Amino acid sequence: MKPLPLFAYVGSYTSPERNGHGNGINVYRVDPRSGALRHVQHLDGLENPSFLALNDEGTRLYSVHGDRSEATSYTVDRETGRLTVLNRQPTGGYNPIHLAFDARQRFLIVSNYGSDSLAALPIAKDGSLAPYSTLTAVKAPLGPHRIEQRNVRPHHNPLDRAGKTFYLPCKGSDCVIGYRLDARRGVLVETSRVAARPGAGPRHIDFHPRRPFAYVINELDSTITTYRQETASGALAPLQTVPSTPPEFTGYSTGAEIWVDGSGRNAYVSNRGHDSIGVFGIDPAKGTLTPRQWVPTRGSVPRFFAFDPAERFLYVANQGGDSIIAYKVGRNGLLASTRLRTRVGSPACIVFSR
């Protein structure tokens, strides 16, 4: 049986209030050998489709819409990669910023950054979204930053590797909250929370593929915190905090994205201001981080980055630079520059078919 082509789906910011230069969702066919992107489709008529999620079968794509109040489902043609809008549903709050599936992919969990809530949208058999039943309010004391911590600001809600706990870094309240899904009621129930440094602004989290460690990029103070994860309860305990930028850098920068590679040997972060990707080695026993490399993103505001499924390339979405650039990933995890550069307005997220 002939293998299916590999596609990349790129979300963007489109609105003037976000200084958006994007035009919706763009689809690219990916050459697995060279890493090159070839444009397939532009799906317009979408406001700020800023974060995306693709189901395991690669047949349905979902987006939330920044500074709006809805999520959208799309059908995916696996042969051509092309998208068609399936339906839309309200998320029950303002500025939905992230979305993730539960372990059985029967619900889409959405965090409403602007109004401090979580919604669990049921996924119908045809992949369309059904209305949420009850919102989960996210409540926590606010941090000291007078501008960036005016509300709790839940920023990311991925499911951990065990498929049990959704973790919610809260930029406005300097904490990470764990939730588990009550599928019968269609609501999220808090199970744990851990405090970060005051003013740190936890933003995104990722997990070691085999060991009980979690890694959080803190936006406001440009640091990375390593946590130990208690297997049964999901509770997090801090182990280490290190800067995400080089020690000689004295300018202003904010942390954005974090990924752990499939081998569990390296963690990668993006820095907006320093405009770099940092590579940090992971101690195999302790889980702690040691800086190994910083590479320039060749564009401003690297809001997001992602590996291709084989982890041969790392693609950086430069929101301020209207570009996607690619680095070659070495066997040791270090990054080497390439000439791969794709012009795209205000890219905010990249997901790949499997």
Give 95-128 pLDDT, tens digit per residue. Answer: 999 999 999 999 999 999 999 999 999 999 999 9
> Residue 141 — very low, low, confident or very high, per pLDDT cuts 50/70/90?
very high
The residue extents of the domains of the chain are 138-288
Can you tell me the distance from the alpha carbon of 108 to that of 116, in angstroms, rounded to the nearest whole number?
A: 17
Mean pLDDT for 48-63 is 98
H-state helical runs in 155-298: none
Predicted TM-score (pTM) of the model is 0.98
User: Which has the closest alpha carbon to 243: 266, 261, 264, 218?
Assistant: 218
Residue with tokens 């969702």: 25
pLDDT at 354: 81
Strand partners, 180: 189
Strand partners, 279: 268, 293
> Residue 139 — very low, low, confident or very high, per pLDDT cuts 50/70/90?
very high
Please determine, for residue 17, whether its predicted confidence score (pLDDT) is greater than 90.
Answer: yes
CATH architecture of structural domain 138-288: 7 Propeller (2.130)
Mean pLDDT for 164-177 is 98
> Residue 251 — very low, low, confident or very high, per pLDDT cuts 50/70/90?
very high
Please determine, for residue 173, whether its predicted confidence score (pLDDT) is greater than 90.
Answer: yes
pLDDT at 2: 78
pLDDT at 192: 98
Can you tell me the distance from the alpha carbon of 258 to that of 278, in angstroms, rounded to the nearest whole number?
A: 9
Residue 19 burial (CB < 10 Å; 0-12/13-18/19+)? exposed
